[in-house]
Amino acid sequence: MANPKRKISKSRRGMRRSHQALTVVPMDKCPRCGEKKLPHKVCLSCGYYKGRQIIEIKSQE
């Protein structure tokens, strides 16, 4: 089995892991109902996208 010849320093290890950071998901406001939604996706609370109703949402009554 291959083993490392030298210890990997904390700095080098951190530089290697620098691209693994989590990013915040961008959220937009739905222009119709005002709920948060993902950009370029149908609003899950009202079912509208670009001013047209795409999916039918059942009322929660």
Report the number of distinct structural domains present in the chain.
1
What's the pLDDT score for residue 16?
96
Domain encompassing residue 51? 23-61
Give all strands (DSSP E) within the chain, no chain letters: 28-29, 36-37, 48-49, 52-53
What's the pLDDT score for residue 57?
85
pTM of this structure: 0.59
- 18 or 60, higher pLDDT: 18
**Do residues 34 and 45 make contact, with C-beta atoms less than 8 angstroms apart?**
no
What's the pLDDT score for residue 29?
94
Q: Is 12 part of any domain?
A: no
Q: Is 60 part of any domain?
A: yes
- Residues 3-59 have pLDDT tens digits of 999 999 999 999 999 999 999 999 999 999 999 999 999 999 999 999 999 999 887
